[in-house]
A and B are shown apart, each in its own frame.
Chain A
Amino acid sequence: MTNHLLSIEELGADGIREVLQLSHTFVEVSARAIPRVPALRGKTLAWLFYEDSTRTRLSFETAAKRLSADTMNFSVGSSSVNKGESLRDTVETISAMGVDCIVVRHGSSGVPWRIREWTDASVINAGDGWHQHPTQALLDCFTIEQRLGPLDGRHVAIVGDIKHSRVARSNVEAFTALGADVTLVGPRTLLPPSLDGWPCKVSHDLDAVVPSADVVYLLRMQNERMNEALVPSMREYSMGYGMTMERVGALADHALVMHPGPMNRGVEIAPEVADLDRAVMVDQVRNGVAVRMAVLYLLLGSGVELPVEGV
Chain B
Amino acid sequence: MTEVPEHLLKRAAERRAALSGEKGGDGGGEAPPPDQPGGGEPAQEPAGGGGGPAPARAATATATATAQVTAGAGAAAPVGPAGHTQRLLTVVKAGSIQDVKATPVDKVHVWPHLLVGEFVASLAMTAFLLVFSAFVNAPLLGTANPNLTPNPSKAPWYFLGLQELLTMFHPMVAGVTIPGMGIFGLMFAGYIDKNPSHKPEDRKFAIALFTLFMMFWATLVIVGSFFRGEGFNFIFPWRQGVHEIFDL
Genuine A/B complex: no
Binding site for A on B (CB under 8 A): none
